[in-house]
Structure 1
Amino acid sequence: MADDSLGGADDEFREMLAKFLSGEGELDPSKLAGAAGLPTDPLMVARLMGQLQKAMNANADGVDWQLARDEAGRIAAQGSIRSSGAELDQLRQALNVAALWLDEATSITQLTSEPTLMTRADWARLTLPVWTQLAEPVATSIADSLTTVLDEQMPEELKGMVANAGQLMRSLGGTLFSMQLGHVVGQLSAEVVSGGDIGIPLLPGRDDHDVQAALIPQNLAAFGAGLDIAPDQVQLYLAVRELAHARLFRHARWLRLHLISAITDYAKGIRIDTERIESLAAEFDPANPESLREALTSGALIPPKSDAQVAALGRLETTLALIDGWVDVVTASATARLPRADAIAETVRRRRAAGGPAESAFSTLVGLELRPRRLREAAAFWRAVEDAVGAEQRDALWAHPDLLPGSDDIDDPSRVIASLSGTADASADALDQALSDLLADDGGARPVEGAPGEAPDEPPGPDEPTA
């Protein structure tokens, strides 16, 4: 409740916002939706205004994660179609064959949970907790910066109003961010073909050390529709790639937390340029919101990266490249029987390098592109290591973060090869011993990847059963 000593200033501010949210203000609400990167169709604008009105009345703090979940699920359900029983059976068979082929290409053992087939809505619902974890630091930074601007830059005579408006603006800003995040994740659900398609494991397994492999049949069919390649070859290739990605993260149990922690630490260092916000507010023309949209979607509000962020980003990009490069090499070896495997592989690489509209939008929300920039170089590194010392020694480098190659190793793999082959100096002996000790603890879980009959972790989605 507003303090009466404010002389009604808080009520006046709320009345001004209420007029805008009801469409009575000078700014067209659809312009706000467009500036935020949301669709400007009447239904979306009405939803946005309704949620903002609700936030103004509730005066909650921060991002409304339930709203993000609801919005993601709503968008994911749009355009969703049911795959036929025959299509699902074919994909299950592809996963079974993929598991057998992978056994020949890598020493990393099979998964302990059965791969699943899921709908777009299932993917959005199950992955949103990770997206939330990645996006929250940026959302907090934006809210804090806006509050700082209000507190420091308002004229003295308006300080009383700002004292109460700050909380209100955090609530409205959090709601807008929630709508953006839900919209982006909903869009991504129509683009990804598997659980590991983004590059990080987004689906929870049975426990903290498990990874859930999954295919999205509707999106997989769309991926292959534009290629002059037999559908069963596309299915097999993408099934092998998904299982390879999931196997890697189950084997390297430290890798998931390592990646997510690096991303969130980077995001926590993001600061919003308050001077740019002030300038934007002073120059904003309600009749022409394009400048606001450009500022919000181009990253112009985020100052240049600090030295620490640049270093962290370099390490993160190297790790992402090593992951995708390893998956590429193992998948290529496992799918050598497929006549068009090279063509499918090149399509995957180009798709990952370009990214889709939703992924670009998410890079704005998080301030980070989750795409490897040195994928081809990393793949060449893994091939060189395999050619020199074999697949088992190649895969052993994932046993511990201290053993993971760096950017210099990608450029010149000779040091790593020397260490693994025993031709390095005596200091390599300690490394080899540490590696042996780490490999001795394999967990002992029974592999069931690709095996039929096991109950899935999650209930079937509304459109398709699990594998």
Structure 2
Amino acid sequence: MVDWDFAVTVGSRLAGPGPEVSAAEALAAVDELREGADRSTPLVQEFTGLRTEAGTAPVLVVDRGGWVQANADGFAKILAPIVDKLTEKKGEPGAITGAIGSRVTGAEVGLMLGFLGTKVLGQFDPFYSPRGRLLLVAPNIVHAEREIGADPHDFRLWVCLHEETHRVQFTANPWLGEHLMEQMNAVAGTIEPSALVEGLRRGAEAIRSGNGSVLDLVSSPEQKEILDRVTGVMSLLEGHADVVMDGVGPTVIPSVEQIRKKFNQRRQGAGTLDKLLRRLLGLDAKMAQYRDGAVFVRHVVDKVGMAEFNAVWSGPDALPSKADIADPDAWITRVL
């Protein structure tokens, strides 16, 4: 269905190498990011009350091509149940049809990864066996710190605080990654080839009209219910990480206020094409997850304290729904 090697080739070429740096600057950035991740671990644990064993998930400092490869591997794993389901229903394609089709979809996935590969600063991959891995994309971090005129040492630690929070979230709660994978499998269980074609048609029309994103391409009521659950979880994770970086930041990062102000402006996207691609890829929804999730976490923590808030990590039933994110008091009533 997807030529993943071709997707990596296309994505890596489109992403490019990133900003020009000397060998010494590159090595210094890599070392500082590794040190920043290590330094962030006890800071995150102390602030959140979450505990995780050392060495449960590796921290990798990668270039853009490395991020593209890692995400192609991750997508292949996530999409495997869907591919298997469609193959079971429709049968294996012919050799020529399969080769052409997989190259086309590989190119499309590569274009998406290439664009995102220039934007992402870091990412926790919960589906990497056995306990996940944290990726820090050095060229993008250097590019961003230059773009907003941030102090490099402060900015790198600031990024590490956010991304290390994700590593702590998943490694302190091993069931969380399994739960998200179960949701992906649940999507696969709802897919019928005929319905998928109709969903693609509706989604494409929504995108053409300027009122949709790629998330609209699969849009049955059952699939939307699953995606709403995933949206609730992702809003929690992103909002929690933003709250942690803003809570810990002032104690260890002198210029954190200036960084946050400039970075929020950067998140809005630059030119018209950039904003268009962000909308089509659903990145506007991603930004809403940061904002809405942070409001949810702050409201609950302000009302009941961090220790009581941590009930959110007790199991799948305690996770906030999309509706809970918009109404934190409803989550407090339901869970606490």
What is the TM-score with the length of structure 1 in the denominator? 0.56
Find the aligned partners of 1:274 and 1:402 in 2 and give their Cα distance: 29
Hey, what does 1:287 align to over in structure 2? none
Q: Paired residue for 1:247?
A: 168
1:394 to 281, 304, 309: 309
Q: Does the 8 Å CA contact 1:71/1:183 hold for their aligned counterparts?
A: yes
Q: Which has the higher helix share?
A: 2
The corresponding residue for 1:174 is 102
Q: In 1, Cα distance between the equivalents of 2:37 and 2:200?
A: 53
Task: Indicate which of 184, 192, 196 corresponds to 1:271.
Answer: 196
Aligned length: 316
SS of 2:150's equivalent?
A: coil
Could you give the per-residue CA deviations for residues 60-104 of structure 1, whole angstroms, max 9, x where no partner exists? xx3333333444445556457554333333333333332242233
Q: CA deviation at 1:343?
A: 4.3
Specify the alignment match of 1:257 in structure 2.
178
How far 1:397 moved relative to its partner? 1.5
Query: CA offset at residue 249 of structure 1?
Result: 1.4
CA distance in 1 between partners of 2:171 and 2:42 (Å): 17
Distance 1:115 1:413 in 2: 33
SS of alignment partner, residue 123 of structure 2: coil
State how far apart, in whole Å, the 2-side matches of 1:324 and 1:275 are.
Answer: 28
Cα distance change, pair 357–181 in 1 and its aligned pair in 2 (3 A)? farther
**Contact residue 148 and residue 263 of structure 2 kept, 8 A:** no
Rounded to whole Å, the distance in 2 between the matches of 1:327 and 1:274 is 33
Does 2:219 match 1:305? yes
Shift of 1:189: 2.4
Tell whether 2:141 aligns with 1:226: no
1:304 Cα deviation (Å)? 7.8
CA distance in 1, matches of 2:155, 2:312: 30
Identify which range, 346-355 or 258-267, moves more after superposition.
Answer: 346-355
Residue matched to 1:102:
44
- TM-aligned CA distance change 1:142 to 1:76, over 3 Å: farther
Distance 1:275 1:348, change over 3 A: closer
1:317–1:371: 8 Å Cα contact kept in structure 2?
no
Q: State the secondary structure of the residue aligned to 2:238.
A: helix
Alignment match, 2:62? 118
Asked whether the equivalents of residues 181 and 362 of structure 1 are also in contact (C-alpha less than 8 Å), the reply is no
- Structure 1 residue 414 displacement after superposition: 3.4
Quote the Cα distance in structure 2 between the aligned partners of 1:228 and 1:179.
Answer: 35
Residues of 2 paired with 1:259 and 1:235: CA distance? Answer: 28
Cα deviation, 1:406-435, whole Å, max 9, x if unaligned, reads 344334433544677xxxxxxx6xxxxxxx
Counterpart residue identity of residue 112, structure 1: A
Percent identity of equivalent pairs: 22
Please list every run of 5 or more consecutive structure 1 residues that lacks an aligned counterpart in the other structure: 1-61, 149-164, 281-290, 421-427, 429-467
Q: Shift in Å at residue 243 of structure 1?
A: 0.3
Match status 1:405 vs 2:326: no
Equivalent in the alignment of 2:71: 127
RMSD over equivalenced CA pairs, Å: 4.1
Matches within 5 A, 1:201-212: 201=125, 204=128, 207-208=129-130, 210-212=131-133
1:376-412 per-position Cα deviation (integer Å, ceiling 9, x unaligned)? 3332221222223322322231121111123443344
Cα distance change on mapping 1:192 and 1:412 into 2, 3 Å: closer
**Residue 118 of structure 2 aligns with which residue?**
190
Answer with 1 or 2: which has the greater Rg: 1
